[in-house]
Amino acid sequence: MKFFNLHTHKFTNNSDVLELVNQYPWEFDTTIPNYSIGIHPWYIERLPRELAMTRLESDLKIIDEKLQLKECLALGECGLDKRIEVPMQLQIEVFEKQIALAEKHQKPLVLHLVAAFQELIEIKNRLQISVPIIIHGFSKNQQVANELLKNGFYLSFGKYLLRNPELESVFKSVPNDKFFLETDTIDESLEEVYQLAAKYKNIDKNQLTEIITNNYNTVFGSSKNPII
């Protein structure tokens, strides 16, 4: 049975790991077998509006095309970030255009979220988003975790689980059917993340693998993209 890496920027070609490799429309690598594709809020073009909209429409067209392929498992990472200079209204506009594509193709969303959780919940409710939404790289406190779980989001853990011992109690509290594991950009292996997660959940790695497999099949669709 394979491990599943919910979000990584490093394709390792490890036969024991199904990797959801993050891709961008402007630098797409056709050799990567399974990927997500989206416009990260950090990389929204800050050009004069007319030029920016032309670039945006080009990127969205590529995303639309890739989402039709079975190799494209999700749209992302996309999202909102209050700690960058890109105006929030522009971020929301780009985010909502990507949400529309995810809904069109019924593919999950993998999100980058920084200090914009209430905005996300408002958008989810207003647009009545039906596809699964995963917050990658979760690092917040119990209150934020509870609010997101209550509103139907999945949480993915990786770097901060390894490096912040205070996240242990938050991770333990997340229901087994609501989390994923990832490496993102860290040098540590996915196996190290799995080992710590299993320790925190007080289960063995085989049980953890079964949990992640079930969550994968629920979110990404076992008939189209089986993990084994």
- How many other CB atoms are found less than 10 A from the CB of residue 193? 22
Q: Is 29 labelled as part of a ligand binding site?
A: no
- Return the amino acid letter for 49: R
Query: CA 155 to CA 181: how far, in whole Å?
Result: 9
Q: Which residues pair with 17 in a beta bridge?
A: 3
Query: CA 170 to CA 173: how far, in whole Å?
Result: 5
Q: Is 16 labelled as part of a ligand binding site?
A: no
DSSP 183: -
Q: Is 196 left (phi over 0), alpha (psi -120 to 50) or beta?
A: alpha
- 3-class SS of residue 118: helix
Q: Is 112 labelled as part of a ligand binding site?
A: yes
Element of type H or E holding 62: helix 49-67
Q: Is 77 labelled as part of a ligand binding site?
A: yes
Please give the annotated binding residues, written as ranges.
77, 112, 136, 184
Please give the annotated binding residues for a divalent metal cation, written as ranges.
77, 112, 136, 184
